[in-house]
Structure 1
Amino acid sequence: MILVDGLVSESLSALDRGLAYGDGVFRTMRAESGKVLHWPRHHRKLEHDCARLGIACPAAPVLSADIGRILRAEPDCVLKIIVTRGQGGRGFAPPMHTEPTRVVASFPLPLPPQDCDEHGVRVRWCSTRLAAQPALAGVKHLNRLENVLARSEWTDPTIAEGIMLDAGGDVVEGTMSNIFILEQGRLITPSLERCGVAGVQRERLIALAERICRGSEVGSVSPPRLLAADQVYLLNSVIGAWWVSALEARTWKRSELTPVLQSALRADDG
């Protein structure tokens, strides 16, 4: 089901700035048994990202009503919320007065890679680099062409994800996931000050780290540092947490922390 401004529809105005310029933001989340996991965190992220672009964020009760309507028909699904600045004419300058467009859509839950909890997933390096733009860093905006190009680099179904670097060669994220590495019992995640998307599961794992391991750190992660890590994790709100078992010639075995981390992230905190 797709709702556009609360109505069942698959159509947007050709003048919508989300279509014309990617002028908007989105969130993707998992619903189980008629409930969106971590919904308060997702709405806070949506509010934050809308504010960064100067877009009025739909109120939580408005979005909750749309979500409730969908979940009554599809209680287990992936939900995607898109908020654009709304309609406008030609030209980059935002109109003085616009009414944001909201889209809430459901999709089937994807099947995870076979036996990924036990055997991990294979990943690859992407040649497409992420450009630095501090004004948009961390924001899940609609301009995702770098990720599209990176994900187009492979068709091998045995490769679950691609790792993206910034223009300076440091690790930032996966094409669809945030990255953590495990070093001597401590979780490290790349800084997103210059580019990348700050996901809800990234936020949660940073908060959980003091309880499940020796804490966390946000910092620079070079490819050699990632390859030397004791474990590598990929996180997003749909997959939860995957552990990496192979990256080119480098292989890993499952760490004792991995099932603890995965279990902690599966718990709903809202």
Structure 2
Amino acid sequence: MCWVDGQPADGLSVHDRGLAYGDGLFETIKVVGGRPELLDRHLQRLELGCRRLGIPCNIDVVREQIATFSAELAEGVAKLIVSRGEGRRGYAQPNPILPRVITLGSPSPNYPPAYAEQGVHLYPCSTRLAEQPALAGLKHLNRLEQVLARAEWQDSAYAEGLMRDMTGRVVEGVFSNLFIVKAGELLTPSLERCGVAGVMREELLHRASQAGVKTQITDISMERLLGADEIFVCNSLYGVWPVRQFETSVWSVGPLTRKLQRLVADLSSNP
């Protein structure tokens, strides 16, 4: 199932700048019962990204398109892409800019229930995230760092990989955000230099704060990670996965992790 600019389509122009340069943004949206989950957060991030990249995008029109698309998809994953549209060869932006909205539907990923129930093992990725504050936090179309990192392991014992920046600070998973718990406080890495500000990360910070949990966005060193009481990763498709092991370090699934799993488990019934 594929739509381009709100209409069913089976192809895309080879001159699209998203294809040529990764000049655009995307959102990966869970669809349940014909409804896109966390849609406001997805569109807020998309709107921020469009402003920062200078892509003129009518978010109200995109909202209508993704709502209609999701109703037709019913269940699965809607990948929403906004590119700068078509352009001639070269990096210079087209004038005028005519953005393109692409929506792709796919089945929901079939993750083992044990990932959420018992926890996952993280692979220590050697690929590092480059620091670029102008793009930090955005879910832009340039994902080669993640492609290289995910290619580092084939062993199914690892459900996710841990990525660091060029100085060794812990940043995120290959396709997730990361949290640690220390002395009852919830901490997540700062994304001012690199990384993706996930919508589930924002939702968890919000719900944890509402529940009276102290939260902090800060730099996290490897030493700080290994000294955590609990660790978990999250994204908008699977929610929360506890981390049970990273290299030789092992953790139990902790009470705050379980609490946060419960807090976001009702998204489908309580948007």
Residue 213 of structure 1 deviates from its aligned partner by 5.3
Residue 95 of structure 1 deviates from its aligned partner by 1.5
Render the CA deviation track for 1:225-269: whole Å, top value 9, x for unaligned.
111111111111111111101112111111112221011123336
Q: Is the 8 A contact 1:2 1:104 kept in 2?
A: yes
Q: Output the aligned Cα RMSD.
A: 1.4
Structure 1 residue aligned with 2:240: 241
Q: Distance in 1 between matches of 2:184 and 2:106?
A: 37
- TM (normalized to structure 2)? 0.95
Aligned pair 1:10/2:10, yes or no? yes
Q: Is the 8 A contact 2:70 2:78 kept in 1?
A: no
Q: State how many pairs are aligned.
A: 269
Render the CA deviation track for 1:118-155: whole Å, top value 9, x for unaligned.
21111111000000001111111101100110011011
Q: Which runs of 5+ in 1 are unaligned?
A: none
Deviation above 6 Å: which 4+ runs of structure 1?
A: none
Q: Is the 8 A contact 1:126 1:150 kept in 2?
A: yes
Change (3 A) 1:182 1:154: same
Identity %: 46
Change (3 A) 1:185 1:118: same
Q: Distance in 2 between matches of 1:212 and 1:183?
A: 17
Render the CA deviation track for 1:139-174: whole Å, top value 9, x for unaligned.
111011001100110111121100000000000111
Q: How does 1:30-49 map to 2 (within 5 A)?
A: 30-49=30-49
Residue type matched to 1:110 in 2?
P
Structure 2 residue aligned with 1:148: 147
Q: Distance in 1 between matches of 2:231 and 2:159?
A: 13
Q: Distance in 1 between matches of 2:67 and 2:130?
A: 38
Q: How does 1:249-264 map to 2 (within 5 A)?
A: 249-264=248-263
Residue 71 of structure 1 deviates from its aligned partner by 3.0
Q: Distance in 2 between matches of 1:209 and 1:64?
A: 27
Render the CA deviation track for 1:25-67: whole Å, top value 9, x for unaligned.
001111111111111111111111111100012333x334433
Helix, strand or coil at the partner of 2:121: strand
Structure 1 residue aligned with 2:96: 97
Q: Distance in 1 between matches of 2:69 and 2:216?
A: 38
Q: Is the 8 A contact 2:2 2:104 kept in 1?
A: yes
Structure 2 residue aligned with 1:110: 109
Q: Is the 8 A contact 2:55 2:97 kept in 1?
A: no
Structure 1 residue aligned with 2:52: 52
Residue 8 of structure 1 deviates from its aligned partner by 1.5
Q: Is the 8 A contact 1:186 1:213 kept in 2?
A: no
Q: Is the 8 A contact 2:187 2:217 kept in 1?
A: yes
- TM (normalized to structure 1)? 0.95
Render the CA deviation track for 1:197-241: whole Å, top value 9, x for unaligned.
101111111222223453110111111211111111111111111
Residue type matched to 2:18 in 1?
G
